[in-house]
Homo-oligomer: A and B are copies of this chain.
């Protein structure tokens, strides 16, 4: 039997997926309040925390926003750094796994003795589509 909290997580994930792009916690709250007007921020933040833990959602630190993960079940594989690219023009978020980055970061932490528990790699810029449209050189 699903608990109330799990239902919340599913609802949040559904909204994020149908939206496709990045949403702030309060964007999500707005959507959820259509069904459930009294919902407060902590409910949304708790659902998001679980989803991020389960790696079904990524948090975009540079935007204070959240996006549904597109790579199913990459928690089974050996850990690979995820690179999130955010287009400042159209807002699209591209997510890709980059073994080369993982290796490069490992060599940094190995030499410094730092034990990393979390890696944040985000790029801001202009995506291929927007760049192609704006600058057809």
Q: A residues bordering B, Cβ < 8 Å?
A: 61-62, 83, 85, 87-88, 94, 96, 98, 100-101, 103-105, 107-109, 112-128, 131-132
Contact = CB atoms under 8 A, between A and B. Distances in A.
B126 A117 contact: yes
Nearest 6 A-B pairs (CB), nearest first? A113-B128, A100-B104, A116-B125, A61-B61, A118-B124, A101-B104
B94 A101 contact: no
> Most chain-B Cβ atoms within 10 A of its Cβ — which of A114, A119, A120, A131?
A114
Contacts of A61: 61-62, 120, 122
Contact of A115 (B113, B120, B125): B125
A124 B120 contact: yes
B131 A115 contact: yes
